[in-house]
Amino acid sequence: MNIRDIVARALVEDLGAGDVTTQALFPKTVPAVGTIVAEERDGLVVAGMALAVEVFRQVDPSLACAPNAADGDRIPHGTTALTITGDGRSMLKGERVALNFLQRLSGIATLTAKFCEAVKGLNVKIVDTRKTTPGLRALEKWAVTLGGGHNHRYGLGDGILIKDNHLALAGGDVAHACRLVIERARRAPHGLKIEVEVRTLEQVQAALDGGADIILLDNMDAPTIRKAVELIKRRAVTEASGGVSLATVREIAAAGPDLISVGALTHSAPAADFSMDIVPR
């Protein structure tokens, strides 16, 4: 993950031909102090501080950045997370990009922490999915780990995951198709774990018969997940997925899966609330 390149692209996107408003209002250097403050009422998990600092460094290397919180820190409402001193014009140029990184990534880390807290004491891992912002997957999956979660596949080459559309393309009876695609996957010279998505107990048995390493229990309610886990008897890793929310995740976890994958960690995390104030010095 090269944050320098990511930040550079973001600044090109935002600055473009330049900050015409700041250029029009302030022809000379304006000594100033900027503060970025956490406004989230229940506190948050910081993610993106390194990127925020890199934003200001690239905009103007003469700016002095003093972080008061590091990535992964849990901070309460009202905490000054970052102080910047130098030319106020440069702060204005970097303000939105720095806040965008902090708000997006801290939102993911904070939501992940809430899911992890909801299953505390149970032997299960919260994992993410590939439902990420195009081009920002590495950052968003990093934010998940800062919140206490774990990463699932980074990309399609990291593991074999046979989903409903793969089974549909294989044709015929679902149970037969499940066995067929596992057999085909086994013959491929990859050495990767094979995971199969199933929606019924019949499909669970088919995945077991086919020798799946991981069985993804898709959109099953908690009682059915419990029956599937009992049927599998630890002959495969179990993953529950689909319709998982903060309201349901503990019940799902109590049913006994090894993993719970939550797409919402990255595709629906609300932005964390930060503000930035800039005052003359």
Q: How many CB atoms lie within 10 A of CB 92?
A: 20
What is the Cα 166 distance to its own chain's centre?
A: 25
The pLDDT value given to residue 173: 62
The pLDDT value given to residue 174: 63
Residues annotated as catalytic are: 96, 131, 163, 197, 218
Computed over every residue of the chain, the mean pLDDT equals 93
Walk me through the domains of the chain, giving residue ranges and CATH numbers. 3-112+269-280 (3.90.1170.20), 117-267 (3.20.20.70)
Task: Count the helix, strand and coil residues of the chain and give each as a percent rounded to the nearest 5.
Answer: 45, 20, 35
Tens-binned pLDDT, residue by residue, of the chain (281 aa): 689 999 999 999 999 889 999 999 999 999 999 999 999 999 999 999 999 999 999 999 999 999 999 999 999 999 999 999 999 999 999 999 999 999 999 999 999 999 999 999 999 999 999 999 999 999 999 999 999 999 998 999 888 888 888 878 877 566 676 777 777 777 776 677 889 999 999 999 988 988 888 999 999 999 999 999 999 999 999 999 998 999 999 999 999 999 999 999 999 999 999 999 999 99
The pLDDT value given to residue 172: 56
Q: Yes or no: say if 260 and 240 are a contact pair by the CB < 8 Å rule.
A: yes
The pLDDT value given to residue 61: 98
Buried b (16+ CB within 10 A) or exposed e, 110-122: bbbbbbbebbeee
